[in-house]
Amino acid sequence: MLWQIDQRDPQPLYEQIANVVRRAVDERTLRPGDRLPTGKDLAGSLDVNLHTVLRAYQTLRDEGLIELRRGRGAVVIASGNGAARLSGMVVELVAQADRLGISRDELIQMIDKKVQE
């Protein structure tokens, strides 16, 4: 695993780390069931703090990409098809908007507000 990050990149280190993992999953370099390096190991090889790696892992967990367990480590859950994941999110979003009586236009408006940020 020859992952790299750039200390001078304005992008946060934990974001860079998360992106490396996301890409690996998308490219099927990492597959469901695969273990990620321990926080300590990755922190050592990237020369960053342990907490920085764990923060990256926790964001990936929140996205449903990996599973984290104390004493066990990080394991890939989701398959790498980002587009399929996006499609699922759209389905859920539309359903939720419908439940709340939010119109299509209002929904688009909400999205545009987020996009411009």
Partner DNA sequence: ACCTATTTGTCCGTATGTATG
Partner DNA sequence: CCATACATACGGACAAATAGG
Quote the CA–CA distance of 34 and 19 in Å, as a whole number: 17
Determine which residue in the list 3, 15, 23, 77 makes contact with DNA, applying CB under 7 A: 15
Quote the CA–CA distance of 108 and 47 in Å, as a whole number: 42
Nearer to a copy of itself, 6 or 105 (CB): 105
Quote the CA–CA distance of 92 and 35 in Å, as a whole number: 29
Name which of DNA, a copy of itself, none residue 71 binds, using a CB cut-off of 5 to 8 Å depending on partner kind: DNA
- Decide if 35 contacts 74 (C-beta within 8 A): yes
Residues 10-69 that bind a copy of itself (CB under 8 A): 19, 22, 62-63
Task: Point out which span in 25-33, 44-52, 87-95, 102-110 binds DNA (CB under 7 A).
Answer: 44-52
Determine which residue in the list 2, 4, 8, 10 makes contact with DNA, applying CB under 7 A: 10
